[in-house]
Amino acid sequence: MQKMVLSETENGLFQAIGVAPRVDREGVQRTDKDGTPQWTVETLRRPADGSPAEVIAVRVAAAKEPHLTPMCEVIFRGLTAFYWSMENGRSGISLSADEVVPASAGHSRGEKAGE
């Protein structure tokens, strides 16, 4: 698996659509290596170059569900892209972040969503 750290500022704007627990095939919420629950933050990404918007899911580990107002602009800290492939020929890119923060002036840069 290959990993690439992405810039907070050069990937366009992200607007929150929804947040859901990241679950396995049995419906059990997944956790990271430290046992912290994982969440899928679905966003609308609007590229800086004006190309068409796209829906992007980003995995975030947080003790509590991130509470994001629908369509609020968010910032992903520690945004990382992982390239994966399987023996059956399937492959793709998954995104994860260390934290998600509402970009509104009402939140300090260090405050995580859900805290």
Task: For residue range 76-113, list pLDDT tens digits in order.
Answer: 999 999 998 888 989 999 999 999 999 984 444 444 55
Q: What is the pLDDT of residue 5?
A: 80
Range of 70's domain? 2-23+32-102
**Is the model's pTM score more than 0.85?**
no
In a domain, 112, yes or no: no
In a domain, 113, yes or no: no
Query: At 43, is the pLDDT very low, low, confident or very high (cuts 50, 70, 90)?
Result: very high
SS3 track for the chain:
CEEEECCCCCCCEEEEEEEEECECCCCCECECCCCCEEEEEEEEEECCCCCCCEEEEEEEECCCCCCCCCCCEEEEECCEEEEEECCCCCEEEEEEECEEEECCCCCCCCCCCCC
In a domain, 109, yes or no: no
Total domains present in the chain: 1
In a domain, 111, yes or no: no
CATH of the domain at 48: 2.40.50
